[in-house]
């Protein structure tokens, strides 16, 4: 172990959040660096290289809003931009502001220890380097810890096999191959629709279907981009008053004040509208009222029946265990039509579960499927997973993994008590996980930066959230969660993951704030304007 390298502020992660965060710190003239586990920047958009990977937020609402120059110079080519382009964008921004030189790649932080006497964090990086910092800002992402299923025989498979998050950089041959995809979440749905026409045979191993509606993607011409540029202020102003951070606002006529025909007319329109309009421009009652939710669910089920030729397959693709909009909605491009192809086979794991992975494929209780490639689209240990991978020791012997064993507790998702001088961008119980991510993280980064500026100006060497403030926030997160029909769903929004011990059936983990982005922005703004009453500043 060589001598520790000291910086005043260390940021963890060079993804969408970390890039903007380091920009703000450098602007302030602070001695700050980013430690990034990967060999390059980009986070989510660096890692997820699977075919079909793209935004399902409108590109021009996903991009950063902080720089007029970036807005003027960048041309989004598609309404929902694909991964290679998104990674180019993040590189463009990082290079424009010369941020790379503040980033240290191949630097996975494995352990962090707080020293209350010195008021410093010590960070141990894989490979043996050690850093110290007065302040640490985490920007480690909400979906950055992929999880594999735990089937017997996985290591024996002799073909190619990988989680979608680890899709290799080099081209993966698909033509003429027999491919199995396990998982039908947002990722599985993108992959399946994209590769169905490229592979020889495609077997989809579905445990539970998800609701999914059309993305309605299209190219953006020069002229359209010019129009978007002229409207950027208006676009971001709308996003700021939308609960999900989108350019869509809810229909407030009242679900029960309009006729079933009027509701249907709206849904016909929304089904053909790009992106999450069908969630965000809908009647808010569909998230709160069982009967309203049943009606929209039946509407979307009918649309699926209308697109899948085989009625038995159509029924298997329609969720029966949760209502529309109560789990993260995957958006699709000709996903349902893939099942009309002769080379696509749906294997319903609720009827014929996987028994094991073999050397040559997947064995279910009904058949053996010979495969050349297995794609694990099995999701993430969401929101808290990236934290659990770091061994974090705070003040007075507190260990973060223990504190959060049954679920996180935080102050606005920005700090957590007993872990002084640690700020979280898009932390658990913030609004980020449940919204158009960059819209919320820009607000998070701005708050964190302003807080740090305040702390440094006032000579603060130690800060920590008050117990009462943290308890109140965590209770508010629970209250919001309990209001939604989504509280009963089994998806990553509500902390569910069957492949992580303690996060599966029966566990309830309050990992995200569901009160909406505008409410959250207002609450954290008030906290700052009142001089941070929830935080002990020493």
Residues that bind ligand NA7 (CB under 6 A): 143, 149, 182-188, 207-208, 328, 349, 377-380, 492, 498-499
Q: Could you tell me the smallest distance in angstroms from the CB atom of residue 428 to ligand NA7?
A: 16
Closer residue to ligand NA7 (CB): 183 or 274: 183
CB of 94 to ligand NA7, least distance (A): 22
CB of 359 to ligand NA7, least distance (A): 19
Closest CA to 207 of 87, 41, 353: 353
By beta carbon distance, the residue nearest ligand NA7 is 185
Q: Which is nearer to ligand NA7, 216 or 499 (CB)?
A: 499
Those residues with Cβ within 8 angstroms of residue 306's Cβ, 6 or more apart along the chain or in another chain: none
Would you say 207 or 345 has its CB closer to ligand NA7? 207
Asked if 462 and 420 touch (Cβ cutoff 8 Å), the reply is yes
- The conformation of residue 283, written as its DSSP 8-state character, comes to -
Per-residue burial over 195-228, b if 16 or more Cβ lie within 10 Å, else e, is: bbeebebbbbbbbbbbbbbbbbbeebeeeebeeb
Q: How far is the CB of 418 from ligand NA7 (least distance, A)?
A: 30
**Nearer to ligand NA7 among residue 416 and residue 432 (C-beta):** 432
Q: Min. distance of Cβ 161 from ligand NA7 in angstroms? A: 14
Tell the smallest beta-carbon distance from residue 163 to ligand NA7 (Å): 9
Query: What single DSSP character describes residue 284?
Result: G
| Strand blocks (E) in 236-295 | none
Of 375 and 414, which CB lies nearer to ligand NA7 in the complex structure? 375
**Which ranges constitute the DSSP H helices of 74-221?**
83-96, 186-195
CA–CA dist 59, 42 (Å, integer):
16
Q: b/e map of 290-325 (b: 16 or more CB within 10 Å)?
A: eebbebbbebbbeebeebbeeeebbebbbbeebbbb
Q: How far is the CB of 191 from ligand NA7 (least distance, A)?
A: 9
Residue 132 vs 206, nearer CB to ligand NA7: 206
Place of tokens 């020293």: 115
Choose between 242 and 449: whose C-beta lies nearer to ligand NA7: 242
């Amino acid at each position: 172990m060589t001598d520790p390298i000291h910086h005043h502020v260390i940021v963890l992660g060079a993804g969408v959040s970390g890039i903007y965060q380091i920009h703000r710190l450098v602007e302030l003239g602070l001695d700050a660096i980013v430690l990034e586990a990967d060999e390059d920047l980009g986070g989510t958009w660096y890692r997820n290289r699977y075919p079909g990977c793209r935004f399902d937020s409108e590109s021009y609402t996903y991009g950063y809003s902080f720089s007029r120059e970036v807005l003027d110079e960048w041309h989004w080519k598609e309404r929902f931009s694909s991964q290679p382009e998104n990674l180019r964008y993040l590189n463009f921004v990082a290079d424009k502001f010369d941020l790379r030189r503040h980033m240290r790649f191949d630097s996975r932080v494995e352990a962090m220890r707080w020293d209350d006497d010195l008021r410093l964090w010590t960070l141990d990086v894989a490979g043996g380097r050690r850093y110290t910092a007065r302040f640490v800002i985490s920007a480690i992402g909400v979906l950055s810890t992929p999880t594999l299923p735990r089937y017997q025989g996985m290591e024996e498979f002799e073909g190619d096999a990988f989680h979608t998050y680890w899709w290799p950089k080099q081209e993966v041959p698909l033509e003429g191959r027999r491919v199995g995809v396990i998982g039908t979440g947002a990722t599985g749905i993108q992959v399946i629709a994209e590769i169905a026409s490229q592979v020889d045979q495609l077997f989809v191993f579905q445990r539970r279907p998800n609701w999914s509606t059309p993305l309605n993607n299209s190219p953006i011409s020069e002229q359209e981009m010019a129009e978007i540029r002229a409207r950027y202020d208006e676009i971001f102003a709308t996003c700021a008053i939308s609960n999900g951070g989108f350019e869509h606002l809810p229909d407030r006529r009242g679900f029960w004040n309009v006729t079933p025909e009027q509701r249907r007319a709206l849904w016909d329109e929304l089904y053909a509208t790009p992106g999450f309009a069908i969630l965000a421009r809908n009647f808010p009652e569909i998230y709160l009222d069982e009967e309203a939710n049943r009606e929209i669910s039946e509407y979307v089920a009918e649309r699926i029946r209308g697109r899948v030729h085989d009625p038995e397959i159509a029924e298997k693709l329609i969720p029966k265990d949760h209502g529309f909009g109560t789990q993260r909605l995957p958006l699709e491009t000709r996903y349902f039509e893939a099942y009309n192809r002769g080379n696509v086979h749906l294997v319903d794991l609720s009827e014929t579960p996987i028994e094991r992975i073999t050397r040559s494929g997947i064995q279910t209780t009904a058949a053996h499927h010979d495969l050349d490639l297995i794609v694990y689209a099995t999701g993430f240990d969401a929101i808290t997973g990236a934290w659990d991978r770091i061994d974090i020791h705070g003040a007075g012997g507190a260990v973060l993994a223990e504190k959060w064993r049954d679920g996180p507790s935080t102050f606005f998702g920005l700090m957590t008590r007993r872990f002084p001088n640690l700020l979280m961008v898009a932390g658990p119980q913030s609004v980020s996980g449940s919204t158009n991510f960059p819209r919320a993280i820009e607000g998070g980064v701005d708050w964190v930066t302003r807080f740090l500026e305040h702390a440094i100006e006032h000579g603060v060497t130690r800060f920590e959230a008050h117990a009462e403030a943290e308890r109140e926030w965590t209770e508010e997160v629970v209250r919001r969660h309990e209001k939604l029909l989504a509280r009963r769903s089994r998806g990553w929004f509500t902390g569910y993951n069957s492949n992580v011990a303690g996060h599966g059936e029966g566990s309830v983990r309050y990992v995200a704030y569901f009160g909406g982005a505008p409410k959250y922005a207002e609450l954290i703004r008030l906290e700052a304007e009142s001089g941070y009453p929830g935080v002990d500043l020493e």
